[in-house]
């Protein structure tokens, strides 16, 4: 009885158990769902959401929200093929440049939030609007194909039978967990989210940490953009749009409080897998787009009732 209670008090574990249950039931009832190739494909799709949600987790932990994640993903996916120099056959220079730009966009968000005191939701919303305008100038509405060797490798290669994207996600996850739970910076972020005034009075440089968090969020969104570009082989306007809401949903499904100060990336990982699995199951049902959308929304709501509830007053 006590173990059951403990599970319900531990949202990351609860989400993980939900994922395992759904996978077992679906594998037993649906032909082909449990095949290794299919499960690996689901993990590959989860990696994009999981990496985009890494930055989102950090920003939500400090009590903000990043609405520019989708726009940054689109920007990197379109910009990378354009700015990769031909003189560099490895393609790494293009990746570094693009990640620099993505981090720069995040830094600008941070400047708005920390120095101009614009609420993060507004700052990132305005940034998304701004980027949307810039994209039309840059890309002119047409799709761009990627030839960058490193990006293609990231999207297609399978060292030791594991997709490179999943390995990248594993690396990001370990880094995130170390930052949040094993480094002083993580403790500062949580303190900022729990009580900004108390955090400031105890000597935390709120401005520096806010800048750092938003820069990281931009960086991770850029990383997700590069990964999806490699998997898709093409970048186009709107490619990142689905990842804005799913990144927020993954964080909240993982038990992180949308109000900040409480949560962990350990929950976001199964949260991302759960979202992708839900979408896959709905595709299997073969319903019309309308019904699919209704099922997806209802399932998220039901999952939230289990794992995402705020504390009672």
Partner 1 sequence: MNATTVPANLYAAVQKRRNRGLAGLYLVVAAFLVVYAVLFPGLLSVGGFSKFTQNWFPLALVTMAQALMMLNGGISLAIGPLVSLGAVIAAVTMGGTLGALGGLLAVSATGLFIGAVTGGIVAYLRLPAIIVTLAGSFIITGVALILLPRPGGYVPEWFSDLLAGHTPVAFGLLVLLLIGWKLYLATPLGVGIYAAGNNPVGAFRSGVPVERVKVFAFALSGLLAMLAGLFVAAQTGSGDPVIGTPFTLNSIAGAVLGGVAFLGGKGTMRGVICGSLLLSVMINVMFFLGFPPVAQYVAQGLIIVGAVAIPQLTSQWRTRP
Footprint of partner 1 (CB under 8 A): 65, 112, 116-119, 121-123, 125-130, 132-134, 136-137, 245, 248-249, 252, 258-259, 288-298, 300-301, 304-305, 308-313
Q: Which is nearer to partner 1, 96 or 306 (CB)?
A: 306
Residue 235's beta-bridge partner residues? 144
Q: At what angle do helices 241-253 and 265-285 cross, to 10 degrees?
A: 120
CB of 252 to partner 1, least distance (A): 5
**Closest-CA residue to 217 (of 51, 83, 97, 37):** 51
C-alpha–C-alpha distance, residues 299 and 304, integer Å: 8
Cβ of residue 275: shortest distance to partner 1, in angstroms?
A: 12
CB atoms within 10 A of CB 241: 14
Where helices occur in 141-183 by DSSP H, the ranges are 149-156, 164-182
Three-class SS of residue 9?
Answer: coil
Q: Which residues contact 235 (CB under 8 A, 6 or more apart)?
A: 74, 77, 78, 80, 81, 143, 144, 146, 229
CB of 37 to partner 1, least distance (A): 28
Q: Which is nearer to partner 1, 148 or 256 (CB)?
A: 256
Residue 72: which of 206, 215, 259, 171 has the closest Cα? 215
Min CB(260)–partner 1 separation in Å = 11
Give the Cα separation of 218 and 102 in Å (integer). 5
Using CA atoms, how far apart are residues 296 and 44, in angstroms rounded to an integer? 20
Q: Shortest distance, CB of residue 264 to partner 1, whole angstroms? A: 18
Residue closer to partner 1, measured from CB, 10 or 132: 132
- Cβ proximity to partner 1: between 32 and 289 the closer is 289
The smaller minimum CB distance to partner 1, of residues 65 and 73, is found at 65
- For 284, the token pair is 């299997």
Nearer to partner 1, 73 or 248 (CB): 248
Question: For residues 14 and 95, which CB has a smaller minimum distance to partner 1 in the complex?
Answer: 14
Cβ at position 142, least distance to partner 1 in Å? 15
Q: Which is nearer to partner 1, 68 or 148 (CB)?
A: 68
Q: How far is the CB of 262 from partner 1 (least distance, A)?
A: 12
CA angle 217, 223, 224 (to 5 degrees): 90
Question: What is the closest distance, in whole angstroms, from the C-beta atom of residue 31 to partner 1 in the complex?
Answer: 27
Structure tokens at 174: 């370990």
Contact partners, residue 115, CB within 8 Å, separation at least 6 = 207
């Amino acid at each position: 009885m006590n173990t059951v209670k403990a599970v319900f008090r531990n949202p990351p574990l609860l989400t993980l158990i939900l994922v395992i249950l759904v996978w077992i039931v679906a594998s037993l009832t649906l032909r082909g769902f449990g095949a290794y190739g299919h499960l690996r494909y689901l993990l590959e799709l989860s990696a994009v959401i999981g990496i985009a949600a890494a930055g989102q987790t950090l920003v939500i932990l400090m009590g903000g929200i990043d609405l520019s994640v989708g726009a940054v993903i689109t920007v990197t996916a379109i910009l990378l093929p354009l700015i990769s120099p031909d003189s560099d056959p490895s393609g790494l220079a293009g990746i570094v440049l693009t990640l620099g730009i993505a981090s720069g966009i995040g830094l600008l968000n941070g400047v708005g939030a920390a120095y101009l005191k614009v609420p993060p939701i507004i700052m990132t919303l305005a940034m998304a609007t701004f980027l949307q305008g810039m994209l039309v100038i840059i890309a002119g509405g047409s799709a761009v194909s990627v030839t960058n060797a490193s990006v293609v490798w990231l999207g297609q290669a399978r060292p030791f039978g594991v997709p490179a994207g999943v390995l990248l996600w594993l690396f990001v996850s370990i880094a995130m967990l170390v930052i949040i739970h094993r480094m002083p910076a993580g403790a500062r972020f949580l303190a900022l989210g729990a009580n900004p005034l108390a955090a400031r009075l105890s000597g935390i440089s709120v401005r520096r940490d806010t800048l750092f968090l938003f820069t990281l969020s931009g960086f991770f969104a850029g990383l997700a953009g590069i990964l999806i570009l490699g998997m898709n082989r093409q970048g186009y306007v709107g490619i990142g749009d689905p990842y804005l809401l799913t990144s927020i949903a993954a964080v909240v499904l993982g038990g992180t409080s949308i109000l900040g100060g409480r949560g962990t990336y350990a929950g976001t990982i199964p949260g991302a897998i759960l979202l992708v699995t839900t979408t896959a199951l709905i595709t299997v049902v073969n319903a019309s787009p309308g019904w699919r959308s209704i099922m997806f929304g209802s399932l998220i709501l039901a999952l939230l009732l289990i794992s995402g509830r705020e504390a009672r007053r």
